[in-house]
Amino acid sequence: MPFGVQLSKVTSDGVEFIDGNGCRIAIDELSDGYRSILSLTLELLRQLTIAYGAERIFSSDHTTVVVPGVVLIDEVDAHLHPPWQQEIGAWFLRLFPQLQFLVTTHSPLVCQPATTVFLLPDPGAEEQGRFLNEIELDRLRYGNVLEAYSTGAFGDVERSEEGEQKLERLAALNQKELRKGLTKREMAEQRELRSIFATTPHVTNGATLQAPK
């Protein structure tokens, strides 16, 4: 499991894990993220056992589940740390290769292993739901988080009002730099603002100023 957590023992008294620091932890003392994943996985195994029988669901080495099925999960990203959100899809596909997972999520990280993504409209909205087109899906699957949000699949994610004010101040400093230069104090302010908006090209009057690396 993430961060070196390993299953230690299963007894009639409970289930125990060992964390990355070597400490023994009961299952009910794990964080919400661990308990969310374990609860989901154990319930999935329970349902598959009921449907197929315990002797049929695992591979010969007991490392994967080999029976087919369709699994629906609502808000699969709930309680998950961002790296877990990024890994959970690939983890399911690797350990449950014959299952098809249909999940809802508010996280672009969860969508990276997806083969198709359907965009649900906002409640009360007039537009219809739709599948992301090929370019949008590729941007979501292979780009970074900023590129994923630019697809619009997760709503309009904008800067705070204070952030917009800082970006406008940076644009003003860039314009002044081109016209007549900056004072030492303004140059220091400009460097600080460029470090904040390091991934944003700074455009002023047709010229694009890239933040220094």
Per-residue pLDDT of 34-92, as tens digits, reads 888 888 888 999 999 999 999 999 999 988 999 999 999 999 988 888 888 888 898 89
Q: What would the pLDDT profile of 4-35 be if each residue is shown by its tens digit?
A: 788 888 888 888 999 888 888 888 888 888 88
Alpha carbons within 13 angstroms on the beta-carbon side of residue 205 total 8
Distance CA(186)–CA(192), nearest Å, equals 10
Distance CA(86)–CA(110), nearest Å, equals 5
Mean per-residue pLDDT over the chain, rounded: 85
Q: What is the pLDDT, as a whole number, of residue 202?
A: 58
Ramachandran sector of residue 127 (left: φ over 0; alpha: ψ -120 to 50; beta: rest): beta
Q: What is the pLDDT, as a whole number, of residue 156?
A: 67
Distance CA(115)–CA(141), nearest Å, equals 9
Which tokens in the block code for residue 82? 């961002």
Q: What is the pLDDT, as a whole number, of residue 207?
A: 45
Q: What is the pLDDT, as a whole number, of residue 95?
A: 92
Closest CA to 94 of 72, 116, 113, 74: 113
